[in-house]
Amino acid sequence: MQSLSFFSLIPFLTLLVSFVVASTAPAADYHEQLNLKPLPQNSLLASFNFRSNTSLPEFEAHNFRFFPRSLGQILQHAGTRELHLRFSLGRWDAETWGARPWDGTKEGGTGVELWAWLEAESDGEADHKWLTLTNALSGLFCASLNFIDSTRTIRPVMSFRPEGDHPNTTMANMHLLHGVLPREVVCTENLTPFLKLLPCKGKAGVSSLLDGHKLFDASWQSMAIDVKPVCQAGEECVLQIEQTIDMVLDIERSKRPRANTLQTTSSLAHPPSHELKCNTTKPYHADDTCFPTDSLNAQEWTLNQIFGKPMLGNCPLTDPKTPPVCIQAPHSRDVFTSMGVEELKEPGNENQRCYLLPSNDEEFHLALPFMPRDGDRPKTDADEFVQPATPLLYAERSLTGHGQEHGGVQAILTNPSPDAEVEFVYMESLPWFMRIYLHTLKARISHRTGSDAGQTLRDDDDVVKEIYYRPFLDRQRGTQLEIRMKIPPGSTVFMAYDFEKTILRYTEYPPDANRGFDVAAAVITILPSNSTSTAGAAAAAGGKTARMSNLRTTGMLLNLPTPDFSMPYNVIIFTSTCIALAFGGLYNILVRRFVGRDEGPEVSLVKLRKRLQEGVQKFKERVQERLGAVGKGAKKVDGKSD
């Protein structure tokens, strides 16, 4: 490591802060860390993690120190024992970026996802508390969480396990409820309350890097809040809140200075030709043709550039022994930091470096310089970033079918491992207006590569081990589908089922109905590989032996038949006309008397003409009379003047 002197040029007011703060109250401690991980294709994964504790007696007594009061009050009011809240945006590109951070346990499907264990005597009470919880959280986080109603709530059976340590007495009364809002757009107004929950409020420590503009401009981002009780052996139980933000930044995009963001976005559509990154090895490369390159330039960035603001020292509440910033890059990668920063290298971990900040409020700077790919000591991609680990499973899901009535869903699940089986639970929470037919559920398995790629190898009985299905009820609850599957090494499973689209009621369509309806992401819970028992047995054993990992597919946009919204009046007028026609004819036939043509009264049209003529005649006469009278009068006047 080299220390660049120019980074210490900024002499900041050094407010000496005593570091006994955190040690005065041992039950409540605070921990924060930023993990940076350069990824292939000019991306950077930044994982922020904030963790604080409060002892359970303090929590019961409503004394809050680092644990946020606003959230604590809600949890107590709604009898929530464990809470998980996720705000996510974008798509994790598993093909390029590899395995997910935190094994996917700290991310949610696009939009907002919430699941919690509530303590309640009965299902009805749990529903009531869930309603309280969602309403209160919706106010706290400025999100439409109050729209998680009974149609969007499910009670997962196989997919989720409590992460905290719950005493057995409360376990019996705990109800797991899960709700998703796939349509919710996560934005800056959700970050502000998130930062408010932190003890350092984004004013010091790693949280000072968080900025709404950068966060929601990321290629993928996920904000998570987990609250759970943690009991260490021999210690008092504590309630732990863990706040996590993961984001994948496009370095080129993030480096644009904030001031001309607007300009750049408009010029992004047509960047000048000299700024295009072209693959010059192509034979047809010329001034006016460009083939985009796969491997972009070597990464070169500073913390300031990509987050738009500097990191304002340490949060003084943290343990000074814990390094706040770590970077996961090969040791051959050059990294520069500001003065006074201590670099820690873990002996066991080749690729990790951490930085311990001096105990003052000085800004912390970190720079990854340009590493030339040619010259004396050429560097390669291997020096640039750690090759991402292969995920346990690739999953993608898409809509099939055509037309306004029927549709289908296909999920493609691939086990990339050459030698290990993977067992997982695939869970879908589908809206009620997607009427799925479970009998059409088919799973076929095939090899990923080779001559027989794509051909069905085995029956689906071998793949699908267990199905939990709770059918939808119109306007009351959605479909819950949980499937436990096992995929042999190096194979792909194609799972498909059909559904029928419902025509909604007039008022049930959202304002922009033609956009379509969002369908929540499928949640895939990969069961620990060593557990050969069923999921139910694993739950009984506590489910804590090995960590589970998660995976979520992308959401789907379902097009329902959308009516013309002037329809009600058209229908009223049309049916009225039909009824009137039928009724008029029938009634007239019943009531009228039929006589010979010459016997009946005069046909009304003739009568009408006659009357008209009479009227005209009378009018003419009257006009003539009047004219005559005027003529007489005029004569009289003439006579007088004479």
Partner 1 sequence: MSADIQNDGDSKPTCAEATVSLPATGIATVEGKEPPPEKEADTRRRSWIVLSFWLIAVFIGLPIWWNTTTIYRANLPLGQMTDWADGKACEPVFPLRIALDVGALPEQEAQNLLRLTQHALDDLNDFSGHHLRLQLAQAPTEATAPVRDDSNVALTIRLAPGDAAHTASSSLHPHLPILDVQYPPNSLPTANSPSSGLATYIATQLGATFAEEQNIISYLLESSSITSEHRPKGISQEVVDTVSKRMTRSLKYSQTYHLTFSLFTNGPVPSSWDIEAAIDQYMKPVLDMLRPIHNFTIDTQVQLYASPGVQSLVLGKEDLSSFVNAAEWPLSPSIGGAPTVNFIVYTGNHTIGVPSEASPGETSQSWMIPQWGSVYLLAPPAEATHVSSETLKQPILTFTSHLLTLLGTPQSGSLPMRLSTLARIRSADLLLRASSSLGSLARLTLALPSISIPSNVADGVVKTIHHLELACASLGGAKSLEHARIAEAEAERAFFEKSMVGQLYFPDEHKVAVYLPLLGPIGVPLVMGLLNEIKAWKNRRSQKLKAA
Positions in 201-220 near partner 1 (CB under 8 A): 201, 203-204
Positions in 578-607 near partner 1 (CB under 8 A): 579-581, 583-584, 587-588, 590-591, 593, 595-603, 605-606
Nearer to partner 1, 130 or 499 (CB): 130
Residue with tokens 């790693």: 206
Q: State the Cα–Cα distance between residues 220 and 253, nearest whole angstrom.
A: 13
Nearer to partner 1, 76 or 266 (CB): 76
Rg (CA), the chain: 36
Tell me the two tokens of residue 565: 């919204």
Q: State the Cα–Cα distance between residues 314 and 206, nearest whole angstrom.
A: 7
Nearer to partner 1, 58 or 482 (CB): 58
Q: Which of 1, 420, 572, 630 binds partner 1 (CB under 8 A)?
A: 572
- β-pairing, 336-337 vs 422-430, is unpaired
Nearer to partner 1, 80 or 415 (CB): 80
Residue 506 binds partner 1, judged by CB under 8 A? no
Minimum CB separation of residue 599 from partner 1 in Å reads 4
Question: What residues form DSSP beta bridges with 50?
Answer: 32, 243
- Using the rule CB under 8 A, give the single segment among 209-217, 459-467, 491-499, 574-582 that binds partner 1: 574-582
- Phi then psi for residue 98, to 5 deg, are 80, -145
Residue with tokens 């963001």: 261
Query: Up-side HSE of residue 340: CA atoms within 13 Å toward CB?
Result: 17
Minimum CB separation of residue 595 from partner 1 in Å reads 4
- Using the rule CB under 8 A, give the single segment among 113-121, 349-357, 497-505, 565-573 that binds partner 1: 565-573
- Using the rule CB under 8 A, give the single segment among 61-69, 424-432, 435-443, 525-533 that binds partner 1: 61-69
Positions in 115-154 near partner 1 (CB under 8 A): 136, 139-140
* Listed residue (220, 224, 210) closest to 247, CA to CA: 220
Spacing of C-alpha 583 from chain mean position:
56
Q: State the Cα–Cα distance between residues 309 and 65, nearest whole angstrom.
A: 28
Residue 25 binds partner 1, judged by CB under 8 A? yes
* Listed residue (368, 391, 390) closest to 38, CA to CA: 368
Q: Which of 573, 629, 630, 637 binds partner 1 (CB under 8 A)?
A: 573
Tell me the two tokens of residue 399: 């809509």
* Listed residue (414, 443, 407) closest to 556, CA to CA: 407
Minimum CB separation of residue 179 from partner 1 in Å reads 19
Q: Please, what sign has the CA dihedral across residues 588, 592, 595, 596?
A: negative
Residue 63 binds partner 1, judged by CB under 8 A? yes
Residue 576 binds partner 1, judged by CB under 8 A? yes
Residue 69 binds partner 1, judged by CB under 8 A? yes
Nearer to partner 1, 316 or 488 (CB): 316
Nearer to partner 1, 506 or 569 (CB): 569
Q: What is the dihedral of CA 426, 180, 47, 244, to 10 degrees?
A: -120
Q: Please, what sign has the CA dihedral across residues 309, 311, 317, 322?
A: positive
Residue with tokens 């029938």: 586
* Listed residue (492, 510, 498, 499) closest to 435, CA to CA: 499
Positions in 297-356 near partner 1 (CB under 8 A): 315-317
Q: State the Cα–Cα distance between residues 323 and 459, nearest whole angstrom.
A: 52
Minimum CB separation of residue 12 from partner 1 in Å reads 14
Question: What residues form DSSP beta bridges with 396?
Answer: 412
Positions in 605-624 near partner 1 (CB under 8 A): 605-606, 610, 613-614, 617
CA distances from 96 to 40, 416, 523, 593 (A): 7, 14, 21, 87
Q: Which of 456, 533, 577, 624 binds partner 1 (CB under 8 A)?
A: 577
Positions in 419-448 near partner 1 (CB under 8 A): none
Minimum CB separation of residue 616 from partner 1 in Å reads 10
Q: Which of 8, 56, 64, 394 binds partner 1 (CB under 8 A)?
A: 64
477 secondary structure, DSSP code: B
Q: Which of 38, 40, 68, 488 binds partner 1 (CB under 8 A)?
A: 68
Count of CB atoms situated within 10 Å of the CB of 277? 16
Minimum CB separation of residue 96 from partner 1 in Å reads 38
Positions in 75-94 near partner 1 (CB under 8 A): 77
The footprint of partner 1 (CB under 8 A) covers 15, 17-18, 20-21, 24-25, 61-66, 68-70, 72-74, 77, 136, 139-140, 196-197, 199-201, 203-204, 315-317, 569, 572-573, 576-577, 579-581, 583-584, 587-588, 590-591, 593, 595-603, 605-606, 610, 613-614, 617
